[in-house]
Amino acid sequence: MGSQKIQNKLWGRQTEDWANIQEETGRSGYEYALNQLELNDNMNLLDIGCGSGIFSDFAQLKGISVTGLDACENLIKLAEQRNSDAYFLVGDMEELPFNNDSFDIVCGFNSFQYAGNIKYAFTEAKRVLKDKGKIVVMIWGNKEDCEVASYLKAVGSMLPSPPPGAAGPFALSENQLLERLLEEVGFHIVDNCDVDSIWEYPDNQTALKGLGSSGPITKVIEHTSSKEVEKTILNAIEPYIQPDGTVVYNNKWRVVTATK
């Protein structure tokens, strides 16, 4: 049994804000990955943790066959509305509903760190990947390279201390844990790059909606209240408000490409 039921609940709260505001913040990582993959129209791709389907849409426009899987039913509905030519389904990254050697490419953008058993999720990704196929994983860069870590620290302080090794935004970022896990399950890393990512929101209310739409925030709300979380996020945003009223965070995505 994987973590799909848990993640469905966490990510199903503000799916419109995630789709319309926050998922776009991964664009620089998506574009870097697409350049690395050298796609052609004979390929098929599995997007694990596809969210509302923004990367799936970019990939499908390259002419390849795209399947998107996500734990959250509401996000999958939005993905289907975004792109009716791709195939989307609700599922668990630790129990992929596909045959062995099914895909030329497997991708996971800001998703694998939320698996209940990350190593097993990578093992499943390897199982469904064809021989010599590629996996691309995007995670956060190091905390010190991500200004948004200050917001995560602020809202995280409202929760009890998590147990060691608990899932979270930076679960795979430090001490090359992502790279080590990929190699442990038998992948060969061919590219590893930290990609600059500037998150810019037109005003603090838009930033509040975007930053407040992620799954981990649901945990905080359950432990406190929506009002307290909103106040904490707005306070965390304040140092990043520019003279013109926009909110700007300078961050990095780590994009790792490996072969089976």
What is the 3-class SS of the chain, one letter each residue? CCCHHHHHHHHCCCHHHHHHHHHHHHHHHHHHHHHHHCCCCCCEEEEECCCCCHHHHHHHCCCCEEEEEECCHHHHHHHHHHCCCCEEEECECCECCCCCCCEEEEEEECCHHHCCCHHHHHHHHHHHEEEEEEEEEEEECCHHHCCCHHHHHHHHCCCCCCCCCCCCCCCCCHHHHHHHHHHHCCCEEEEEEEEEEEEEECCHHHHHHHHCCCHHHHHHHHHCCHHHHHHHHHHHHHHHECCCCCEEEEEEEEEEEEEC
In a domain, 61, yes or no: yes
Residue 147 pLDDT: 97
Percent of the chain having pLDDT more than 70? 96
Mean per-residue pLDDT, 94-123? 95
Residue 174 pLDDT: 85
In a domain, 231, yes or no: no
Reported as a pLDDT band with limits 50, 70 and 90, residue 161 is: low
Residue 166 pLDDT: 52
In a domain, 221, yes or no: no
Most confident of 9-13, 149-153, 243-247: 243-247
pLDDT digits (tens, 9 = 90+) for 201-236: 999 999 999 999 998 888 888 889 999 999 999 999
pLDDT(132) > 90: yes
Reported as a pLDDT band with limits 50, 70 and 90, residue 162 is: low
Q: How many domains does the chain have?
A: 1
Residue 56 pLDDT: 96
Percent of the chain having pLDDT more than 90? 78
In a domain, 209, yes or no: no
Reported as a pLDDT band with limits 50, 70 and 90, residue 163 is: very low
| Nearest Cα to Cα of residue 157 among 98, 224, 245 | 224
Q: Which domain holds residue 108?
A: 4-143+167-198+251-259
Reported as a pLDDT band with limits 50, 70 and 90, residue 156 is: confident
Q: What is the number of alpha carbons within 13 Å of residue 212 lying toward its C-beta? A: 21
Domain at 177, CATH number: 3.40.50.150
Residue 38 pLDDT: 86
| Nearest Cα to Cα of residue 133 among 259, 37, 47 | 259
Q: How far apart are the first and last CA of the chain?
A: 25
Residue 160 pLDDT: 65
In a domain, 226, yes or no: no
In a domain, 82, yes or no: yes
| Nearest Cα to Cα of residue 47 among 100, 117, 99, 111 | 111
pLDDT(1) > 60: no
In a domain, 158, yes or no: no
